[in-house]
Amino acid sequence: MLQVVCIKQVPDTETRVKVAADGKSLDPAGVTLILNPYDEFAVEQALRVKEQLGAGEVVAVSLGGAGVQTTLRTALATGADRAIHLRCDTTAPDALAVAKALAEAIRPLEPGIVWLGKQAVDDDGAQVGPMLATLLDRPCVSVVAKFELSGQTAKVEREIEGGREVVEVPLPAVFTTDKGLNDPRYASLKGIMAAKKKPLEERVVDLGPAHLERVAFELPPARKSGRIVGEGAGAIPELVRVLREEAKVL
């Protein structure tokens, strides 16, 4: 079975945000780029399914500028067999444009499973997975926290408010992965060496007109500086007083 893993390169979660001069984007200066943390669970689960079946191919796909190839090499080093780079230099393209480009590249591969992280930690959209599934006309479960495959059916659990939904899904299907699904492996030195020789194909894509237009990118309003109400247990009466009388939250 061929599996596709869609991955995205994003700013590290420790990034301190500065707005670029255009007022519409993140200032890239000094930003470290990493594989989207939720995509690590997608890559790992694809590798586990391949191991379970004892056969198959895992294809990593990513859309973005030239720098994205570093992230694709990371996926190859972890165990993906080959990679497709959908080359596109648009800053922060909208989710549907990305889903359309992915669908076009993925459809001819006829994958048994397409994996994505539940959301990218930069735009927090959580849209591309369900959009891609709709465009491919495949069943989809998002925010998967548990996955079991038997034959052509997957039994999965999806995080919902205060609990989980148990879902049965016939393959081929699309899944988006949540933290806690698995413990992603690290790339071994051998894997890193092997990744250099694995095929990485670059295709230039044109996203067409935008479906959503970003008009501004800005910092959140600064919080009013608070105060230390006191030290140790002796501060509790004052804390309770201010929570009742000033903040009115008790």
d(CA 121, CA 241): 38
* Cβ-based nearer residue to other proteins, 2 or 135: 135
196 binds other proteins (CB under 8 A): no
207 binds other proteins (CB under 8 A): no
* In contact, 156 and 170? CB cutoff 8 Å: no
116 binds other proteins (CB under 8 A): no
Q: What is the DSSP string of 34-77?
A: EE-HHHHHHHHHHHHHHHHHT--EEEEEEEESTTHHHHHHHHHH
At 130, which amino acid appears? P
* In contact, 44 and 182? CB cutoff 8 Å: yes
210 binds other proteins (CB under 8 A): yes
236 binds other proteins (CB under 8 A): yes
Q: How far is the CB of 116 from other proteins (least distance, A)?
A: 11
* Cβ-based nearer residue to other proteins, 2 or 200: 2
- 60-89 mask for other proteins (x: CB under 8 A)? ------------------------------
| Residue at token pair 């200032």 | 27
143 binds other proteins (CB under 8 A): yes
Find the binding residues for other proteins in span 15-34 (CB under 8 A): 15-17, 19, 26
C-alpha distances in Å from residue 238, one per residue of 97, 225, 249: 54, 18, 14
Find the binding residues for other proteins in span 150-189 (CB under 8 A): 157-170, 173, 178-180
